[in-house]
Every structure is written in C-alpha cells, then in structure tokens.
Structure 1
Amino acid sequence: MTTRSFTSALLGGALATCLALPAAAGNPLDIGFVYQSPVSDVGWVAVHESARKQLEKEFGNRIKTRVVQDVKVGPDGARVMRDLVGSGSGLVVLGSFGYMNDGLKLAADNPATQFVHASGFKQAANFGTYNARWYEGAYVVGMVAGKVTKSNKLGYVGAIPIPDVVATINAFALGVKRSNPAATVTVVWVNEWFNPGSEREAAGALIQQGADVIGSGFQDNPAVVAAADAKGVWSVGMFSDLRKSAPQKLLTSITHDWTPHFRQVVTDTLAGKFKGAPYMGTLKNGGVGLLEWNAAVPPDVVAMAKTAQADIASGKLVPFAGPLKDNTGKVRAAQGAAVPDAEIAGMNWFVEGIQGALPR
C-alpha cells in the first residue's frame, strides 16, 4: 500500500493521465482511495481506512491499494482522480460527496475503470454509490438525548448541509421530540468537513446558549465531543468510537462499516461482474450501528433506546413518519404517510423543533 499526501508534485502530473486498461491476467487489481480529509485514527476517513486495510488482509496479493488524502473538491480532486486512473487504478473509491460530478465524467471517459462514490445519488454502468441511513441511529440517539437534557436546549454542529447531514440532524430532532416535546435543537454550521478550530468554537457557542447535549454532525475529527466533554456537557459522536476524546460525557457514537460492501465491490470487480448500483447501510443490515451507551444513562432509558433501535430495524418504527411538518409549518408528511426515500435523499429542510434555517 502506498499512502500519498496531496502534494504539488502529484498535481503537477507525477502520474500520467490516459485511458485505463484492465489489469493483465495475474496482475493485482489497483484500487485508489481518494479522501477529502487527512488520514487519522477516528472519523470518516478512519472508517474507510479500516475497510481498506481489511481488504488488503483478505485479498492479499490479488489487490494493491493507494491512498490520496486531504483532496479538496474541484479542480484538485478531478486531477487526482485522473492521475489514479491514468496510472493504472482499475477501481477508484471516491470518499466524498463533492467528487460526484467529476467522478461521473471520468467514469464516462474510462469505461474499463470502476468507481464507487460516497453519499452520491447518481449511478452509471461503471459508477456505483454507497451510503448509509445514519438518520436511523440519530433518531434513537435523539430519544436518549431528550431524556438526559436538563435545560431542554440541545445543539448540533453541522459540517456541510448536504442531504445526509440534514436528514441525520432532522432525525435527531424528531427523536428528541418523541421523548421530550418541550426540547428544541439549535444547529450551527461550519461548512467544512475538517476544521477542528471552527468546530470547537461552534460547540462552545452552543454551550454558551445553554445547550447541554451537543451532536457532532459529520465532523472528521473529535473536536466537537472533546469541547463538550471539557465543559461537562453530553455529546453525540459520529463514525467512530470517540470515548478517548470524550471519556466522561459521550452518550454514544453513530457508527457505520463499509467493509462488507467494499468486499463485494472488489469481488465483483475481480470477477468482471461490477455493476454501478446504489448501496445503503442500515440498522437492519449492520451498515449502521450505535456504540454502547454511556454507563450513566439510566437503565430504563437504555431499554427504551434498544427497543426503538430494534423497531427501526424491523420497520415497525419509521423516523420520518407523518404527521410531520418542517420548521416553517409546511406539512411534509400527512398522518399515515412518511417522507419518501427520494425526498430524504434530497432533504433540504429542517423539521419542526429545530431553530434556524439551512444555508442557501
């Protein structure tokens, strides 16, 4: 495995750009991973890295992997993708929503190369997507947060307001409302995936406003939960086990695992059977999970959470079921109905109970 930083040398064309040809018989499948943030021990990229390392163990010399980290969306990202394809990658993992359009264009130009893209909603014959219903876990966490708050003020630090992030925050707020109708949720956006300084400031601002539970909304580091822990405030982590950074007050983390899906993608690619299709991780299939609850959470609240988690997995409990209004009063789902999956995939509105508006 070769790990590469995003350097001017790479961008300068250290890798030739050309139409990729299938790997010759006996040659390992070259897999390129492109990340929007630096590689670290926790967070979004860390979950990808865990899956990548597991693939190397399982497939051995049948594959080789390369990593390009801290790649910004736009011209830099497009160039890195082209360089990977041009230097022989037969499978490219695009680990950020913003890589979608450049990735699709490259896939169209290189039909012999397969791509999988995080959080996207567009597919092609050689361009699949992978995503997860983090909102299922967030709904359960919201129910617990509504029980442990004393101020009835909760906060969420949002990264970038793409639908996945919005849906997760909305589900958290709906879970809060289910267990504590008097509570409200305030959201602060930092508009970056990785900016520990801004994330700490956002968490601090919410705490100053009286929030005593703070959610970390897709940050690729533990800054939010660490800031909350330092103030003795409950927090909700994302992606990884963040107890080292918030040893006292982390309620839980909403986690996911890409390994089973990536394993299937690699298997299909090696067999020449890759199909560009969507994958969705859920509580039911194990693609989404929750870290064990903080020991200070009352047993009856933990039992409530476990029941809700099982009910969501079975389909008995639907997080975005009606009657449901947004925070402007518009009806989004009538009684007996639910917000359709297609609308959740493009969610750009806040539910009732969230204070504030989405950036436009």
Structure 2
Amino acid sequence: MIEFRPAVAAFAAFFCAAPTFAAEPLQIGFVYQSPVSDVGWVAVHESARKQLEKEFGNRIKTQVVQDVKAGPDGARVIRELVGNGAGLMVLGSFGYMNDGLKAAAENPKVNFVHASGFRQAANFGTYNARWYEAAYVAGLVAGKVTKSNKLGYVGALPIPDVVSTINAFALGAQKSNPAAKVSVVWVNEWFNPGSERDAANTLMQQGADVIGSGFQDNPAVLQAAEAKGVWSIGMFSDHRKSAPQKLLTSLTHDWTPYLRQAVQDTLDGKFKGTAYAATLANGGVSLADWNPGVPADVVQMAKQARADIVAGKLKVFAGPLKDNTGKQRAAPGASLPDSDIAGMNWFVEGIQGAIPR
C-alpha cells in the first residue's frame, strides 16, 4: 500500500535500497498541487498512478507528495525526491515548470514529465490536453438549455489552458444561441472550496443558470449549483455523484496512456522530452454522459459537433474571431495555430470579465 504524505513529511523511508537479488525498481515521484481526493485533477493522476502500479508491478515503485504549493515548497520537494533516487518525476501542476526544468538540467539522468507546461528539454517532457475541444461541445448544449441567456464560469488561475477552455465554452454557447453571454469570476487558486462556492453563488445571483467549473480540483462549484437547481458542467472527473440532478456533463481526461509510455521509455532508456496533447481524437479528452434532461435533438447536435472536431471538420478557434475588446484574432477562413492557443491570454467576444494579470 502506498503511503500518502504531505510536503512536510520526510522522504527517507521511501527510497530504500532494493534487495541485492532483485533488479532495482524505477522509482517514480508524483508531486501534486492539491490534496488527494476522489474527484478532480489530482484524482485523475492517482487513477493513472494506480494503473501503472498494476501493470508494471515490482518494476516500479511510486511515491506521492500531495498539497505542494508551487515555489519554494515545490522546488524543495523536487530536489528531495530526486536526491533520494527518483529516476522519473511526474510534476502535476503548471507552477512546477521552472523549478522542474532547473532540476532536469542539474540531473540529466533523471526524466521529468510536467503537466500543462510549454517548455521541453531532452529529459523534460510535457503533457497537456485540449480541454477546449470538449468545452466547445459543452457550450453548444449550455446555449440551448439556458433560459436567462446568462452563463457563468468559475476560473481557477488565469493560465492559457483555463482561458482557452472558457473561450471555447463561450464560442460553443454563442454558436447555438447568439444571445448567450458568459461571465467569469476568478478565485486565483486551484483548491479553495469556500472561495469557489462563493464565486458560483455570485454568478447565480447575477442570473447565470448554467455554471462551469474551470479547473477546480474539487466539486464545490457543482454542489453550489446543485443546491440552487442550476445546471453545471464539471471538470476532469465525472462528477455525477456531486450533482446528480443538474450536472449537464463533465470535461474529462485520462493521463494513463501518456504516463505508461513515459515509464516504459524510461525503463528502456528511450525517453525523449516531447510535448503530448490529449484530444477528443486520441481519447485522452472526453465528455461524460449527458444529463437525461437534455433534449434528444440537442444531444444529437453535440454528438455531431464532437464527431466533426475529431474528423478535423470543425476548428474551435476558427475565424472570423474577435476578442472582447473588438480586436480581430483570426481572419475569416483562418484559425488560430496551436502556438497561439497555448499562449492564450485574452477573452473572446461575448465574455464579460477580465483576465487577471
């Protein structure tokens, strides 16, 4: 059984020597931004980690350090895990990027994979997901089920992944309902149930009757919406248990295929620091089942849009595309390149609110 220890715990007990008669297992450190729970970002990582343990058996040994804030704490935890023998590090938060890159440069024989980052090195790979593909489809449905034409999104931290997801949701909603508007409230944290609940309540007080959970690592937003009988959209995990009546769907993902390959490549000495993107097409991104209350024709519309995205017929950020200041971002007939989406720091037309700087 794996022992989960907070960042303040000692590491000596984990990286103990393997028996002399057995091959040394690959030691893998998992560093998480939030506490381990049943749903959310960290829960998806945990699901992948447990599956890796089943598949690789005694060839690997894993260690989890949870609730590690980016900055000095993150740098210290990374150093200690590497110093105690980790051969592969899984850095599960955007904020670990710079400290992880520094550790990778100082330890070229250790491999690193980093969630949602945009910088790579020979021994430092990144993994991310095009949540915006699923968010666009969810937005199409939200535009159809809203009665007030007011939609809300609770944003965690204003990194490009969060911004592009909210933008795609708004574009989908406006496609199916041109009168739809989206308001955003930021909490500037990945995990703060109290602030997230307050943000959701603020949006509902403003008239929003569909609320999106924007990268929160817990179900507080969904539970607040459920308590008021308001539609909600989950993130990362299937949140039907948290909002059994009013959850429209959840934007989900699976890191298992990518992490499986990273482990195997490390064991084989073939690891390369590349960028991986989970998508609707490769199955790394998906949508949970639609709420039974969504009309059949709306579900069919969503399924068709999803199929068109997978087939490459539908580009989420296709022109003509303007931001909410009126500036053109993509001309008619063009679409934003991946590099622009990966650095997105502006809101599309129809979103009310600003991005914190």
TM-score class, shorter-chain normalisation, is: over 0.9
> How big is the shift at 1:339?
1.0
2:264 maps to: 267
Structure 2 counterparts to residues 148-159 of structure 1, below 5 A? 148-159=145-156
**Given the alignment of the two structures, is residue 204 of structure 1 paired with residue 201 of structure 2, yes or no?**
yes
In the superposition, the TM-score normalised over structure 1's length comes to 0.96
User: 1:262 offset after TM fit, Å?
Assistant: 0.6
Provide the residue aligned with 2:37 in structure 1: 40
Q: Kindly provide the amino acid, as one letter, of the partner of residue 350 in structure 1.
A: F
Gaps of 5+ in 2: 14-20
The Cα RMSD (Å) is 1.4
Task: Name the aligned partner's letter for residue 84 of structure 2.
Answer: S
Paired with 1:282 and 1:7, the residues of 2 have a C-alpha distance of 32
| Corresponding residue for residue 297 of structure 2 | 300
Alpha-carbon shift at residue 7 of structure 1 (Å): 4.4
For the residue of structure 2 that corresponds to 1:161, the secondary structure is coil
Could you say which residue in structure 1 is the equivalent of 2:5? 5
> Deviation per CA, 1:246-268, whole angstroms, max 9, x where unpaired?
01000000000000111111110
Instruction: Say yes or no: does 1:258 pair with 2:240.
Output: no
Within a 5 Å distance, the mapping from 1:347-358 to structure 2 comes to 347-358=344-355
Rounded to whole Å, the distance in 1 between the matches of 2:196 and 2:339 is 30
* 1:78-93 map, 5 Å: 78-93=75-90
Superposition deviation, residue 26 in structure 1: 1.3
Residues 36 and 73 of structure 1 are in contact (CA less than 8 Å); yes or no, is this contact kept in structure 2? Answer: yes
CA 261–7 in structure 1, closer or farther in 2 if over 3 Å, else same: closer
2:308 is matched with which residue?
A: 311
Instruction: Measure the CA separation in 2 of the matches of 1:90 and 1:4.
Output: 19
Tell me the equivalent position of 2:236.
Answer: 239
1:98 to 95, 98, 112: 95
The amino acid across from 1:95 in the alignment is: G
Q: Distance in 1 between matches of 2:152 and 2:287?
A: 19
Is the contact between residue 200 and residue 223 of structure 1 (CA under 8 Å) also seen in structure 2?
yes
- Whether the 8 Å contact between 2:156 and 2:187 is mirrored in structure 1 is yes
Q: Does 1:120 align with 2:117?
A: yes
- The residue aligned with 2:219 is 222
- Separation in structure 1 between the aligned mates of residue 8 and residue 136 of structure 2, nearest angstrom: 43
Retained in 2: the 8 A contact 1:28–1:64? yes
Q: 1:20 is matched with which residue? A: none
CA distance in 2, matches of 1:161, 1:197: 19
| Maintained 8 Å contact 1:5/1:70 | no
CA contact (8 A) 2:28 2:60 kept: yes
Q: Verify: 1:169 aligned to 2:166, yes or no.
A: yes
Q: After TM superposition, give the deviation of residue 9 of structure 1 in Å.
A: 4.3
Q: Where in structure 1 are there 5+ consecutive unaligned residues?
A: 17-23
Is this contact kept in 1: 2:7–2:73, CA < 8 A?
A: no
Supply the AA of the counterpart residue of 1:297: V
Give the one of 23, 27, 30 matched to 1:26.
23
Residue in 2 aligned with 1:281? 278
* In structure 1, distance between residues paired with 2:227 and 2:63: 37
What fraction of aligned residue pairs are identical, expressed as a percent?
A: 78
CA distance in 2, matches of 1:216, 1:138: 11
* Alpha-carbon spacing, 1:7–1:36, altered in 2? closer, same or farther (3 Å): closer
Deviations 1:288-335, CA, capped at 9 Å, x for gaps: 000010000000000000000000011100000000000000000000
Mapped to 2, the partners of 1:7 and 1:56 lie a distance apart of 22
Cα distance per residue 1:179-204 (max 9 Å; x no partner): 00001000000000000000000000
Which residue does 2:17 correspond to in 1? none
**Partner Cα separation in structure 1 for residue 119 and residue 36 of structure 2:** 26
Q: Secondary structure at 2:6's aligned position in 1?
A: coil
Distance in 1, matches of 2:101 and 2:219, equals 32
* 1:324 equivalenced with 2:297 (yes/no): no
Structure 2 Cα separation of the partners of residues 9 and 340 of structure 1: 43
User: What TM-score do you get using the length of structure 2 for normalisation?
Assistant: 0.97
Contact 1:215–1:235 under 8 Å retained in 2? yes
Q: Deviations over 1:232-285 (max 9, x none)?
A: 000000000111110100000000000011111111000000000000000000
Cα distance in 2 between the residues matched to 1:227 and 1:9: 34
Is residue 135 of structure 1 aligned with residue 132 of structure 2?
Answer: yes
Whether the 8 Å CA contact 2:131–2:279 is kept in 1: the answer is yes
Paired amino acid for 2:218: N
